[in-house]
Structure 1
């Protein structure tokens, strides 16, 4: 992922333009690149503001500095029930005969959410082999741009319990599998809030380089996604 940050007085300004690009195209929303932009401004540029506003293709996004991480204020996108037969070829190509509990579609983000059977556990989702190589041939209408696989979380009372798990695939955008995806959680948060009857949730995206997210839904139809950051590399680009 490559992103471009635009703004003046980066140490004192509170408003910046932001765009994101995958190896294949520009995308309207990217969570980890927004988190990284905020981290650089807060921790490297030493921006003096506690909250930054990014002007993007998805409207205004806010990043708030907190002691234990950064909180991103994102849109919340509903997912609607999807007829299995309309996406059967896509699902069968991706995960074969894996048992399905529910299927929903988010028209705002063009993401297909596939909930796996509650009989499966986290280990099953982590080890599931997903065929992304043939998805572009199976689905080439432009309706689907991302595939979310998700699973209900641990029973209450378990240590470090999660409300839900997920993995995310977007070969249509040049990304076979994304490690931790803020944009996918704008859909997942809406879906699981309705399913679980909860506004505050603890989520885990369990890809090989996955991560944990703290989620809080707003009364105004937006969602806070909290994450931690670590700057691991610095460099200078020269023409």
Structure 2
């Protein structure tokens, strides 16, 4: 068996920045065991598998496909950067003729539309709810140490814990944060949390005008730090839109790779997440 594979850096227009995802367009479904083995072999935060729903469609003519995402250790319900990368593969390499593609996923239908620069994804919005920081004292300590924390929110749907640093913090405090993934995972074993997102208010008046910054740590699913996380911004977009009173937001995830996301919170309970991609690798997996 030969499987085409692409590696793309998502949410960036520069190679070796953003978040790398492997994308495999498949002629037919594989076993779950093989999906897990391939994702572990690729060893990226996510490997995406695209399959046709209608056998008469091709990757060039079809407008609706099935999409699944796997980390090196588990299948996940929602992934932004690998969805962006999957659409880019179909548009750029399979020359898909449709302006918008629809992916059937564990999080429902996700639409991706070509833009002048990059692509825009139609994702669910996942509002978080405010928490008592004392309920997550150990996790907060493992994530940010002694840095001052302004608010703590939890999205029960995505199991992402949002820790907002105080506005008195400098951006460098977030970028230089060193998080021990093992200690973080050990701090929370109840199953309530699957990722910790540390965020802080940006400086929209200073170029390039980011409204907020974030970093994302998910050792519970085998990802010590995810470089740029579309799914986290379904939570962050909801939170910061409410706090800043804005529908359109420019976000920067300030991991060592870094990536930029354009967000638009919609009135219908959805969020548009836009970004660019760069292809790093094109090849064939031989089994």
Which 5+ residue runs of structure 1 have no aligned equivalent?
A: none
Secondary structure at 1:234 match in 2? strand
Secondary structure at 1:195 match in 2? helix
**In 2: Cα distance, 1:201 partner to 1:225 partner:** 10
Could you say which residue in structure 2 is the equivalent of 1:224?
A: 272
1:10 equivalent to 2:62? Answer no
Q: Is the 8 A contact 1:13 1:47 kept in 2?
A: yes
Secondary structure at 1:35 match in 2? helix
**In 2: Cα distance, 1:80 partner to 1:107 partner:** 8
- Pairing of 1:76-155 with structure 2 (within 5 A): 76-154=125-203
Q: Deviations over 1:169-223 (max 9, x none)?
A: 0000000000100000000000000000000000000001111111011111100
1:184 equivalent to 2:232? Answer yes
Deviation at 1:46, TM superposition (A): 0.2
- Pairing of 1:33-52 with structure 2 (within 5 A): 33-52=82-101
2:78 maps to which of 29, 32, 54: 29
**In 1: Cα distance, 2:207 partner to 2:48 partner:** 37
**In 2: Cα distance, 1:121 partner to 1:225 partner:** 26
Task: Indicate the RMSD between aligned Cα atoms, in angstroms.
Answer: 0.9
Could you say which residue in structure 2 is the equivalent of 1:175?
A: 223
- Pairing of 1:205-224 with structure 2 (within 5 A): 205-224=253-272
2:212 maps to which of 138, 157, 164: 164
**In 1: Cα distance, 2:217 partner to 2:116 partner:** 32
Deviation at 1:232, TM superposition (A): 1.4
Structure 1, 181-190 or 116-125: larger mean CA deviation: 116-125
Secondary structure at 1:188 match in 2? helix
Q: Is the 8 A contact 1:25 1:173 kept in 2?
A: yes
Deviation at 1:132, TM superposition (A): 1.6
TM-score calculated relative to the size of structure 1 = 0.97
**Count of residues paired in the alignment:** 238
Q: Deviations over 1:131-162 (max 9, x none)?
A: 222122221111100000000001x4322111
Q: Is the 8 A contact 1:95 1:131 kept in 2?
A: no
**In 2: Cα distance, 1:149 partner to 1:42 partner:** 33
Which 5+ residue runs of structure 2 have no aligned equivalent?
A: 1-45
**In 2: Cα distance, 1:136 partner to 1:120 partner:** 25
**In 1: Cα distance, 2:196 partner to 2:221 partner:** 11
**In 2: Cα distance, 1:126 partner to 1:105 partner:** 22
Secondary structure at 2:285 match in 1? coil
Secondary structure at 2:278 match in 1? coil
**In 2: Cα distance, 1:123 partner to 1:134 partner:** 22
- Deviation beyond 6 Å, 4+ runs, structure 1: none
